[in-house]
Amino acid sequence: MPYARITGTGSYLPENVVTNKDLEKMVDTTDQWIRERTGIAQRHIARDDETTVSLAEQASRRAAEAAGIDLQDIDLIVFATSTPDKIFPASACILQARLGIHGCPAFDIQAVCSGFVYALSVVDKFIRTGSSKKALVVGAEVFSRIVNWEDRGTCVLFGDGAGAVIVEADEETGILSTHIHSDGQYEELLHVPCGISSNYEQVKAGGAFIEMKGNEVFKVAVNTLGKIVDETLEANQMQKSDINWLVPHQANLRIILATAKKLNMSMDQVVVTVDKHGNTSAASIPLALDAAVRDGRIKRNEVLLLEAFGGGFTWGSALLRY
C-alpha cells in the first residue's frame, strides 16, 4: 500500500498588511496587549476583489510548480475552508475550473481551523487505497469577511491567506498517521451564530460574525492538543525526540508554546508564523509549512508533526516524513 507524500508546497498572502498599530486606531486595544496575549504583530487582509479561491489559486500553482507536476495530472482536489467564495458550488470546484482541470473529484471540507489536517487525513486515505495518485490539498480563508471589526476580542486575532500542498503516492514514505476528532457540544464557544438555514435574518442584516469565548477556548485547546500529541506518538510508537519539526495551527503563541513544552521541543524546532500572519484558520498550517520548506529549515525525510484545534470543536494531527 503506497504512502501519501507531500511533494510540493505553496502559499499566498494578500499584499495588504494591517499592523497592531493600525488596529489601535480602529478599536480600544494596544500593540502591547495583542503581542503579549497572542504573539501577533501583523496580519494580511484581502482586498475587496480578492477571494478565498483567488488566494488559493496562487498557492496551488506554486505548490504544483514546487512538486514539478503538470496541473493536468492532479486527480483529486480537497479544499479546506470556512469562508467559501459561494454557498455552492464548492470552492474546490471553482478552483478546479481556474486551474483548467476537468473531471477529477473536487470537494470542500469544513472543520474551521482543523480543516487542513482533516483534508490531509481524507487525502491520505484516497492515496493509500489507490483512488488517487496526485492530489491537491488546499487550506484557504478570508476570515476578515466574518470578523466584526468593532469587536476587539476577535478582530485582532485573524488574517487572510492560502496554503496548498501536492500529495503523491510514494512507495517509500510519507504520511505516517493522521488523527482527527470533533466534539460538537462546544459549538457555541466559537462560532458564527447564523447561516443559511438558521438565523438567516442576521446574515441579511450583515451580522454574520465570529463570536468566541476566547478564554474557555484557550483552556480546552491547550488540554486537547496535549492529548493528541500523546495519541499520535503512541500510534507510531515514537518518542518525542523522534520529531524534527512541530508545524502547529497558528492561533496564539501561548498555545504553541504549551504544545512545544509538552513535546520537550526547543522553539528552534517549531515553525511560528502567527506573528506575521495572525490566525488564518485552515490556511495556517500549509502557510507555515511552506515558509519553513522554502527557507530551507524543513528538509526531505525529516519527521513533522502537524496539529490543529478549531471551531466545532474539531482537532487533529498528522505525523509525516517529509
Report helix, strand or coil for 120. helix
- Clarify whether 113 is annotated catalytic: yes
Sequence-ordered strand ranges (E) for the chain: 3-12, 17-19, 42-44, 76-80, 106-109, 134-142, 160-170, 175-182, 190-191, 211-212, 245-248, 303-310, 314-321
Look up 194 and say whether it is catalytic: no
289 binds ligand ACO (CB under 6 A): no
CB 209 within 8 A of CB 192: yes
Please answer whether residues 6 and 135 qualify as being in contact, where contact means their C-beta atoms are separated by less than 8 angstroms. no
Binding mask of the shown chain, residues 144 to 173, with x at each position contacting ligand ACO by CB under 6 A: --------xx--x-----------------
Q: Of 55 and 255, which has the nearer Cβ to ligand ACO?
A: 255
Look up residue 12 and give its amino acid: Y
Query: 3-state secondary structure string, 202-253?
Result: HHHCCCCCCEECHHHHHHHHHHHHHHHHHHHHHHHCCCHHHCCEEEECCCCH
Q: Does 215 bind ligand ACO (CB under 6 A)?
A: yes
310 binds ligand ACO (CB under 6 A): yes
281 lines the binding site for ligand ACO (CB under 6 A): yes
Tell the smallest beta-carbon distance from residue 111 to ligand ACO (Å): 9
193 binds ligand ACO (CB under 6 A): no
Binds ligand ACO (CB under 6 A): choice among 224, 252, 280, 284: 252
- Which one of 113, 155, 194, 277 is the catalytic residue? 113
Does 112 participate in binding ligand ACO (rule CB under 6 A)? yes
Q: Pick the stretch among 66-74, 101-109, 251-259, 270-278 that binds ligand ACO (CB under 6 A).
A: 251-259
Q: Does 317 bind ligand ACO (CB under 6 A)?
A: no
Tell me if 222 contacts ligand ACO by CB under 6 A: no
> Does 29 contact ligand ACO by CB under 6 A?
yes
Interface with ligand ACO, residue 107, by CB under 6 A:
no
Distance CA 231, CA 308 (A): 14
- The percent of the chain in helix, strand and coil, each rounded to the nearest 5, is 40, 25, 35
CB proximity list for 142: less than 8 A, separation 6 or greater: 46, 50, 51, 52, 55, 83, 160
Cite the active site residues.
Answer: 113, 249, 279
What does the binding site for ligand ACO look like in residue numbers (CB under 6 A)?
A: 29, 33-34, 37-38, 112-113, 152-153, 156, 190, 214-215, 217-218, 221, 251-252, 255, 279, 281, 309-311
